[in-house]
Structure 1
Amino acid sequence: MPTQQKDPLAKATRAAEDLYHLRDTYFPANPDDKISKLQQQSDLALKLLDSIPQDTRKLPMQRATFEYLRGKILDVFPDYRKEAEDHLSKAVKLNPSLADAWLCLGNCIWKKGDLSSAKNCFNLALSKGPNKSILCQLSMLERKMAQGTENQAELVEESIQHAKEAITLDVKDGNSWYNLGNAWLTSFFVSGAWDHSKLLHSLKAYQNADKDEKMKSNPDLYFNSATVNQYLENYERALSGFEAASVKDPGLNAAEQVQKIVNLLDKLQNLFRGHIRKQLQLVGKVLFFVKHDCVTPLYYLLCDSNQACFVLSVYGLHSDAIKEGDQLTLLEPYFRCIDISWKEKCYQFKSIRVDFLEQILVNGKTLRPYNAVRTSIYAQHKS
């Protein structure tokens, strides 16, 4: 007896799912190769869809699924396609409860640049029932909408709340945890890149995301987690994270991030060793401001009253608040010894971190509020 053939609509559905799996897991060195492969697979998926007999498309529910699948297949590419929006719009009119059609439609409108309409689309979908995927996309969209607006802090807070709502629907879903990690990381930068508690919230969310096996293929998770570790000055974890991201997706600039950290560590180590040998007598003096490629923290080389040198990292201050030659008094700083190895090279130096301007006296005086950074600072990470 011949093997029973699958329902044509089910085969087309599976083809669409495979197409999106390819989009999310295939990262060739040449991005054009990915577009070419997506085009090839989408053409095959559309052929499967077109092979469905006309008789099976007559009922509203079946027709809605057909329109949704065609729109979804066409929308797999990064650029906006009006044909995709047209099919997805028909799908949600025919079957307003088709959640994934709403999700695809909102994303399609987002690509067009109409962020307000995309948000309305996601909210309309959520009014028909909770959905973790739509909540995640809404959270991402709110972070995008926050950029350059006066109410960015409010929008990012909404993003965090929607990310949390998605997790309550499925606490084991790695993508929801990853989205929450991104929301906390964005909040860190929006608030001026000084609040370490937000970094710790972000790192915890990424760690929970990593427990989901399907997230192992997501290079952005490794990249963003490495970014958090970089700002927490967990240099070894940051280096290994960026390297893992680079292996998974050569198109990311993760290798460049590795080199930036190595350059910074080389600079800090060389300054540290050089001034230990000189036994300088300047107690609490700022010897050098260390220029580097990241927005935060600020790095300085200091020498204390015991003629010991250490690296000082400062968060939440403008770069002109502390100058070379200033004498600093540090209140309740966080001290640790950096001792890491990377590519057969060792880095060892003493490090002190301060997070608030209230922890620093410059030449015996407190810093003024205008020295603090409380405005938006965006760093590179996948939203």
Structure 2
Amino acid sequence: MLSNESGVGLRSTPSSTLQLTRGRIRSRFSNAMNRQNQVSQEEEEDGIDLMKKATESADDLYMIRDTYFPSEPNHKIHKLQTQSQIVLNLLDSVPPEERKLATQRATYEYLKGKILDVFPEYSKKAEDHLSKAVKLNPSLADAWLCLGNCIWKKGDFPATRNCFTVALSKGPNKRILSQLSMLERRMAQGADNQEEIVAESIKHAKEAIALDVKDGNSWYNLGNACLTCFFVTGAWDHSKLQQSLKAYQNAEKDESMKLNPDLYFNCATVNTYLENYERALSGFEAAASIDPCLNAAEEVQKMINLFDKLGSLLKGQIKAKRLASLTSSLQEVQLNPSYKRATIDNLLDGLNKAITVVGKVIFFIKHENVTPLYYLVCDSNQTCFALTVYGISNDAIKEGDQVTLLDPCFRNNDFSWNEKHYEFRSVRVDFPEQVHVNGKPIHPRHSVRSSIYAQHKP
């Protein structure tokens, strides 16, 4: 699952960059807090200035929500409770005579609802105030957007979509388009026409970018949409993963997005799936440095545990006689004449068309993630390599099986992490059609489909 919700990919994030990122978070959070703490001195100002300052303070409240990531989640809730009450007090200090006109009252109700909606849980009071705002001033697009976000939390997706659609009718808006795109991905889950809905999500994400090509959040949203599209269309078209990575890379060019741990986490997820392991590790580490409550540090440890286990198996003392016994029959395997037989040493990086590698499964490598499956395989030259398998159930290939790999996708993995060096060769299988087990194609019942969605995070 995506967090809130080589070619092209996440740029490496050295420690100096992470320190700068943490510094930006502290600076922006501190500025927001300083403005919040000046509220009591501002309450004596005139109504117009108070309404303006209440608007700015509400924005600062959301800045705290989006950039303050303490190690204890309850600390964030407490901080939001404290600061939201300060902003509510400021808003309520606006003189009654400055709230008489329908437009003034609409702004007041909108701000009150927005402040009350800053928390993750649905708030009936927030919905009531936001509903009053759009009734008083139906042209207030921001109030429609906020009302949609509020209703989303109680799971009423059609009503949420209606709010976003009405908001868009007031004029093009990149934030509304991005939220609509995100909502559509959520609505696609379990739908019969999910590919069609996700295509609409991508369309609206691109429309948001067209309004502001430098907006990092719009690019981030497009990255999530392309990644979701990859999975709902069968998880085979890697070009969609590359599109996702490119979008994330563009998002990172926006300085404000360096405060978003989900950007690093989701990009690392894509790199993991593409087996760009070093980039994935860097991305998860960056996410963990910003938000300790994400499970990014755990993802790093899972990967390291897997690589350590794989390294131990590759360096293990498998007796030559056993290898010879395991591989003795491989040369006798009859192949399709349109394929050329090869061993792991003959493969080039990437897809090797019209090539076949025959091997023996020595170990099934257990690890903590569901996908992919990892096996240690030995070819006819008694050379061991890792086999990574996607889209196939774990009972299709077992230890001791003979595997025939068609059009193998080869990768020479060579990277270091925390002063430890990892080096191993691997072949990737994405479809049942790419592998035969004991001379037979894999039965369709062993085919499985992965799924991943960007989640709404208020």
Quick check: TM above 0.5?
Answer: yes
Distance in 2, matches of 1:9 and 1:365, equals 73
CA offset at residue 100 of structure 1?
1.3
Q: Indicate whether 1:371 and 2:446 are aligned.
A: yes
Aligned position for 2:368? 293
Q: Indicate whether 1:125 and 2:139 are aligned.
A: no
Pick the aligned partner of 1:7 from 26, 49, 52.
Answer: 49
Aligned position for 1:30? 72
| Cα deviation digits, residues 110-139 of structure 1 (max 9, x gap) | 112212211121122223322111111112
Distance in 1, matches of 2:155 and 2:312, equals 48
Pick the aligned partner of 2:117 from 68, 71, 75.
Answer: 75
Q: Indicate whether 1:156 and 2:198 are aligned.
A: yes
CA offset at residue 14 of structure 1?
0.4
Aligned position for 2:338? none
Letter of the aligned partner of 1:378 in structure 2?
Answer: I
| Cα deviation digits, residues 177-202 of structure 1 (max 9, x gap) | 11111122223333454432222221
Query: Where does 1:179-194 land on structure 2 (aligned, <5 Å)?
Result: 179-194=221-236
The 8 Å contact of residues 186 and 455 in structure 2, kept in 1 or not, is answered as no
Distance 1:278-1:97 versus aligned 2 partners, 3 A rule: farther
Distance in 1, matches of 2:238 and 2:394, equals 19
Letter of the aligned partner of 1:331 in structure 2?
Answer: L
CA offset at residue 278 of structure 1?
4.1
**SS of alignment partner, residue 165 of structure 1:** helix
Pick the aligned partner of 1:328 from 403, 409, 415.
Answer: 403
Query: Where does 1:31-110 land on structure 2 (aligned, <5 Å)?
Result: 31-110=73-152
% identical equivalent positions: 69
Distance in 1, matches of 2:154 and 2:411, equals 49
Aligned position for 2:3? none
Distance in 1, matches of 2:65 and 2:155, equals 21
Distance in 1, matches of 2:289 and 2:247, equals 22
The 8 Å contact of residues 289 and 300 in structure 1, kept in 2 or not, is answered as yes
Distance 1:193-1:382 versus aligned 2 partners, 3 A rule: farther
The 8 Å contact of residues 285 and 300 in structure 2, kept in 1 or not, is answered as yes
Distance 1:253-1:188 versus aligned 2 partners, 3 A rule: same
CA offset at residue 320 of structure 1?
2.3
Distance 1:382-1:321 versus aligned 2 partners, 3 A rule: farther
Q: Indicate whether 1:311 and 2:386 are aligned.
A: yes
Letter of the aligned partner of 2:275 in structure 1?
Answer: E
Q: Normalising to structure 2: TM-score of the pair?
A: 0.78
Aligned position for 1:352? 427
CA offset at residue 220 of structure 1?
0.8
Distance in 1, matches of 2:238 and 2:263, equals 19
Aligned position for 1:19? 61
Structure 1 unaligned spans of 5+: none
Distance in 1, matches of 2:413 and 2:450, equals 29
Q: Which has the higher contact order (CA 8 A, sep 6+)?
A: 2
The 8 Å contact of residues 409 and 427 in structure 2, kept in 1 or not, is answered as yes
Letter of the aligned partner of 2:204 in structure 1?
Answer: H
CA offset at residue 277 of structure 1?
6.5
Moved more, 206-215 or 121-130: 121-130
Q: Indicate whether 1:172 and 2:214 are aligned.
A: yes
**SS of alignment partner, residue 321 of structure 1:** coil
**SS of alignment partner, residue 316 of structure 2:** helix
Structure 2 unaligned spans of 5+: 1-44, 331-358
Aligned position for 2:186? 144
Distance 1:380-1:111 versus aligned 2 partners, 3 A rule: closer
The 8 Å contact of residues 276 and 309 in structure 1, kept in 2 or not, is answered as no
Q: Normalising to structure 1: TM-score of the pair?
A: 0.93
Letter of the aligned partner of 1:320 in structure 2?
Answer: D
CA offset at residue 162 of structure 1?
1.8
**SS of alignment partner, residue 112 of structure 1:** coil
Moved more, 98-107 or 116-125: 116-125
The 8 Å contact of residues 223 and 245 in structure 1, kept in 2 or not, is answered as yes
Distance 1:381-1:305 versus aligned 2 partners, 3 A rule: farther
CA offset at residue 106 of structure 1?
0.3
The 8 Å contact of residues 215 and 221 in structure 1, kept in 2 or not, is answered as yes
Moved more, 190-199 or 321-330: 190-199
Distance 1:380-1:136 versus aligned 2 partners, 3 A rule: closer
Distance in 2, matches of 1:382 and 1:46, equals 26
Distance in 2, matches of 1:110 and 1:379, equals 16
Distance in 2, matches of 1:56 and 1:380, equals 42
Distance in 2, matches of 1:380 and 1:158, equals 15
Moved more, 226-235 or 18-27: 226-235
Distance in 2, matches of 1:254 and 1:381, equals 16
CA offset at residue 242 of structure 1?
0.9
Q: Provide the aligned C-alpha RMSD in A.
A: 2.1
| Cα deviation digits, residues 138-176 of structure 1 (max 9, x gap) | 121222222233333333232222212211221111111
Q: Indicate whether 1:341 and 2:416 are aligned.
A: yes
The 8 Å contact of residues 360 and 400 in structure 2, kept in 1 or not, is answered as yes
CA offset at residue 34 of structure 1?
0.6
